[in-house]
Structure 1
């Protein structure tokens, strides 16, 4: 099956209104309407099928019609668009529901919450923070992001870094 970006998905990607892990961001770039799911996964970026399914469920990606007849993949393609998903749910309640059901936040949850904050903070530094921004975008785990937190805090100041600190603690 071939996946392609939706209009709403491209807008959400630009605005960063939907939080994506770095490997999901890579997968989003690779889903160009030409590559199959297998080719995207074979690109060597540790992209799991669940990452792609989540982006389809969020409406960021959709299947190119008529390419696959596999029942499981057809069900994947039939998932709602981002506009419908945005109308029925917002990202914040999803995080709150996840936290409420599990009690304590996992390292992955903290990473998903802290990553967009860290990229926004390091990106706000402009050229002065270019290397720091690259380092943040290169992280793939909570531990790696936690190790960069002191550098971010030193660059943006403790007031601005407080939001990141709250997201990383948990």
Structure 2
């Protein structure tokens, strides 16, 4: 089964003050009508996203089930000259780790947590990395640093 964003889901992505948790927002970003639910959950497991987060997006009407034909479809061959998909996967992984670290800060550094949640690109996350390093320390930050440096 695949999931797709509804019109309401697309609007929520544009409004960063939607009230979604960072995990729910990361899941919503990944849901594209192409990936199966299992693929989305697998790709976001590092960020702690669960089936409950997906169910909540369904309840809110931000995503909908999309039933595809039962005949197998041959996926296109990967184009290794185009790094956009790799960049997207890297962003989603780094975003999940960064939001997890920001959640550990609690109210201690709310501005940083909000800035991380608002980061829509890998470059924006990278720009916030020094502040997050200072807030959580090098041991906790190591996972995010590895995700950001995968280039």
TM-score for the superposition, normalised by structure 1: 0.48
Q: Please tell me whether the aligned partners of residues 118 and 164 of structure 1 are also in contact (alpha carbons under 8 angstroms).
A: yes
Query: Matched residue pairs, number?
Result: 106
Q: Where does the alignment leave 5 or more consecutive residues of structure 1 unmatched?
A: 6-23, 28-36, 64-72, 80-97
Tell me by how many angstroms 1:40 deviates: 4.0
3-state SS, counterpart of residue 98 of structure 2:
helix
Give 1:77's match in structure 2, choosing from 67, 71, 79.
67
CA distance in 2, matches of 1:155, 1:39: 34
CA distance in 2, matches of 1:135, 1:127: 13
Tell me by how many angstroms 1:143 deviates: 0.5
Q: 1:77 to 1:106 in 2, by over 3 A?
A: closer
Q: 1:153 to 1:39 in 2, by over 3 A?
A: closer
Give 1:110's match in structure 2, choosing from 81, 90, 101.
90
TM-score for the superposition, normalised by structure 2: 0.53
Tell me by how many angstroms 1:107 deviates: 2.8
Q: Please tell me whether the aligned partners of residues 110 and 169 of structure 1 are also in contact (alpha carbons under 8 angstroms).
A: no
Give 2:37's match in structure 1, choosing from 58, 66, 77.
58
Aligned to 2:119: 139
Q: Greater relative contact order (Cα 8 A, min sep 6): structure 1 or 2? A: 2
The structure with the largest alpha-carbon Rg is 1
CA-based RMSD of the aligned residues comes to 4.2
Q: Please tell me whether the aligned partners of residues 117 and 164 of structure 1 are also in contact (alpha carbons under 8 angstroms).
A: yes
Aligned to 1:129: 109
